[in-house]
Structures are given as structure tokens and as C-alpha cells.
Amino acid sequence: MIKKIQENWGCISLHTWLIMSSYGIIFALLSFFEDMGCLNEIKLEHPWIKGSLSILLGLLFYIIIGLPHLKGAKDR
């Protein structure tokens, strides 16, 4: 089991990097919209919404943007 993880570590770390980056990008965008005042009413009622949206939209961003560019990242 550990040998298989070691063999696939490059792929695992690449996917982890892409997922975490996608989350960070979406969180930054939502923070920008929050500073503009777009999320104030929603955030007052549901303070957890920014983190939850970041996770869900980050995974969607990863699927739509990250995965199609995965082959290019592996070639480098």
C-alpha cells in the first residue's frame, strides 16, 4: 500500500494542489464580493456560507478548469 502511494505521489500532490488552489481562488473572489457589499445580508444570516460556497464552487472550478489542464501540468 505504501509503495503504491509512493509511486503515485506526484499525481496525488498535483491533484491536492489543484483542489486547494481552486478553493483559494474562489474564497478570494467571494471575499472581493463581500468587500463590495454583495454578501452582507446573506453572511449576517448564515456566517458559514462563504466557506461552504468556497468549497462547493472550488470543487466545481477544479472540475471545469483544473482537470482539463492536468495533462499540460503532467508534461512539464
Q: For 53-71, what is each residue's pLDDT tens digit?
A: 999 999 999 999 888 877 7
Instruction: List, in order, residues 6 or more apart from 11 with CB less than 8 Å away.
Output: 74
- For 21-49, how does the pLDDT look when each residue is reduced to its tens digit (9 = 90+)? 999 999 999 999 999 988 888 888 888 99
Type and span of the H or E element at 49: helix 49-61
Render pLDDT for 5-26 as a digit per residue (tens, 0 to 9). Answer: 777 777 888 888 889 999 999 9
What pLDDT was estimated at residue 7? 78
Helix/strand/coil for 33: helix
Q: Are residues 16 and 73 in contact, defined by beta-carbon separation less than 8 angstroms?
A: no
**Verdict on whether the full-model pTM lies above 0.85:** no
